[in-house]
Amino acid sequence: MELRVLFKYIDNPDQHKIATYISTGGYKAWEKVLRELKPADVIDIVKRSGLRGRGGAGFPAGVKWSFVPKDSPKPKYLVCNGDESEPGTCKDRVLLERDPHRVVEGMAIAAFAIGAHNAYIYIRGEFAYPAAQMRKAVQEAYDKDFLGKNLFGAGYDLEMAVHTGGGAYICGEETALLESLEGKRGLSRIRPPFPAVEGLYASPTVVNNVETLANVPGIITNGPEWYAKMGTEKSTGTRIFCLSGHVKRPGNYELELGTPLSYLINDLGGGVLGDKKIKAIIPGGSSTPVLTPDKLDVHLDFESVAQAGSMLGSGGVVVMHEDTCMVWAARKLAHFYMHESCGKCTPCRMGTQWMFQILDRIESGKGCENDIELLLDVCDKIEGHTICPLGDAAAMPVRAFTKTFRDEFEYHIKHKKCMTINRMPSFT
């Protein structure tokens, strides 16, 4: 079901202003944390809520926080990942634009939990407006003494700054993001050491997604049991799904985790454009394996989508109807990964180029007989052989498209044309 927790006030035109945010209970959680709780209590509450990372991997947030060594003499850093770039995903942008104080408050609480006195939010460079909204929010929070020195008289200091990127998908990967925040090229780092031990400026660092942190104030205010009651046992809470592609009402919808995919597409999304049949659905951003319409009843929680053969990923649901050529779609995505590979690992740098070249020649009617096997072989060579998940993220969709719609790929190679001629709703 649609359940608005993060989006409760999202349609309020003044929600981005601090007075409005405060009037809806904003910064109460931050005050409670500073006046009544210890860092360990906050971590325990978030652990008990079951909150899992909303960036893609779904790692439990409280557990991530607990990895930060308490005895380290180095400063600690909290970094909010607002480098939203996974094709199909545009949920963090809405939070940053319309309810930025929720993100500020979540960041502040997370910083306190890990003992950080400095917090940064890294926002993708193209998001000029969301970044401006966040900057205003941070300034307002300073003006109200919610950020700065000796907050609420509790002796705790916290500085927060907004940092913008330069257009690189890879910087959504946490170690590449940290390199980028240090002013370097966004090349991912070898782990270990993990950021919790050696992250920003070689100091203990936690990186959390915008949506993950936006959930934290609510969890503190209403308690972990309130949060854990929503969703399923292992996928608690709500999630913002970005519904795009061939649907009548695309948009960002916040659903209780475990809601059927069909409800999102048909009830909220109004069904398929032109009442055509669905051919393919990407359930969690472009990296996640494509599903066929027989999986329309899958429940949107981490476990169910995994069982259906894909991933909940970043919440980007892309619907493609029957008049979509799957080779064309796969080629689009392969182009993206080729463009975004940072070039550090050979399998990813070369593999993404190979995948695109093969798909490009199949799409343009120049495919060779063994191209499908070659494509799958390249996927094998990339997967598991790169430092960061971008390699896997590039190979997974190509493998899934090729295997799931093998007949279309074979037809394309044999007949040098599309089995399904692309009939996109034209731009008119």
Partner 1 sequence: MILNEQTVKAIRADIPKYPQRRSCILPALTHAYRQVGHLNEVVYREIADVLDLDTIQIAEAASFYTMFPKQPVGKYFIQVCHNLSCSLLGAESLVEYLLRKLDVKKGAITPDGLFTVVTVECLGSCTTAPMMQINDLFYENLTREKVDAIIDELRKKG
Phi, psi of 330 (to 5 degrees): -65, -40
Judged by beta carbon, residue 72 or residue 221, the one nearer partner 1 is 72
HSE on the CB side for 241, CA within 13 Å? 36
192 binds partner 1 (CB under 8 A): no
Judged by beta carbon, residue 33 or residue 170, the one nearer partner 1 is 170
- Residues of span 226-245 touching partner 1 by CB under 8 A: 242-245
172 binds partner 1 (CB under 8 A): no
Stretch that binds partner 1, among 11-19, 24-32, 143-151, 248-256 (CB under 8 A): 248-256
Stretch that binds partner 1, among 84-92, 148-156, 221-229, 351-359 (CB under 8 A): 84-92
Stretch that binds partner 1, among 189-197, 254-262, 313-321, 401-409 (CB under 8 A): 313-321
Q: What is the DSSP letter of 15?
A: T
Q: Which of 331, 328, 210, 336 is nearest to 279 (CA)?
A: 328
Stretch that binds partner 1, among 12-20, 21-29, 120-128, 362-370 (CB under 8 A): 120-128
Question: Do the beta carbons of residue 43 and residue 67 sit within 8 Å?
Answer: no
Judged by beta carbon, residue 10 or residue 228, the one nearer partner 1 is 10
CB within 8 A of 19, min separation 6: which ones?
none
Q: Which of 367, 374, 375, 416 is nearest to 399 (CA)?
A: 375
Residue 245 CB, shortest distance to partner 1, in Å, is 5
**Cis (ω within 30 of 0) for the bond into 13?**
no
161 binds partner 1 (CB under 8 A): yes
User: From the centroid of its chain, how far is CA 307?
Assistant: 20
Pick one of 274, 365, 384, 425: the residue that binds partner 1 (CB under 8 A): 425
Pick one of 168, 305, 308, 388: the residue that binds partner 1 (CB under 8 A): 168
Residue 377 CB, shortest distance to partner 1, in Å, is 24
How far, in Å, CA of 227 to CA of 154, rounded? 27
**Angle value at C-alpha 289, between 293 and 396, nearest 5 degrees:** 155
Stretch that binds partner 1, among 57-65, 211-219, 291-299, 330-338 (CB under 8 A): 330-338
252 binds partner 1 (CB under 8 A): yes
184 binds partner 1 (CB under 8 A): yes
How far, in Å, CA of 272 to CA of 276, rounded? 6
Query: Would you tell me how many other CB atoms lie within 10 Å of the CB of residue 343?
Result: 12
Q: Given the structure tokens 């599309």, which residue do they identify?
A: 418
126 binds partner 1 (CB under 8 A): yes
| Residues 19-58, mask of contacts with partner 1 (x by CB under 8 A) | ----------------------------------------
166 binds partner 1 (CB under 8 A): yes
Residue 161 CB, shortest distance to partner 1, in Å, is 4
185 binds partner 1 (CB under 8 A): yes
Residue 211 CB, shortest distance to partner 1, in Å, is 13
Q: Which of 33, 40, 81, 32 is nearest to 62 (CA)?
A: 40
Residue 20 CB, shortest distance to partner 1, in Å, is 24
Residue 329 CB, shortest distance to partner 1, in Å, is 6
283 binds partner 1 (CB under 8 A): no
Phi, psi of 170 (to 5 degrees): -60, -25
339 binds partner 1 (CB under 8 A): yes
The tokens for 277 are: 């049949």
How far, in Å, CA of 371 to CA of 355, rounded? 10
HSE on the CB side for 114, CA within 13 Å? 33
**Angle value at C-alpha 61, between 56 and 66, nearest 5 degrees:** 135
Count, residues near partner 1 per rule CB under 8 A: 60
Burial class of residue 233 (count of CB atoms within 10 Å of its CB; 0-12, 13-18, 19+): exposed
248 binds partner 1 (CB under 8 A): no
Question: Do the beta carbons of residue 282 and residue 317 sit within 8 Å?
Answer: yes
Residue 319 CB, shortest distance to partner 1, in Å, is 8
The tokens for 115 are: 């003992």
165 binds partner 1 (CB under 8 A): yes
Judged by beta carbon, residue 48 or residue 185, the one nearer partner 1 is 185
The 3-state DSSP class for residue 10 equals: coil
Which residues contact partner 1 (rule: CB under 8 A)? 75, 84-90, 92-93, 118, 124-129, 159, 161, 163-169, 180-186, 201, 242-246, 250-252, 282, 286, 316, 318, 320, 324, 329, 332-333, 336, 339-340, 342, 424-428
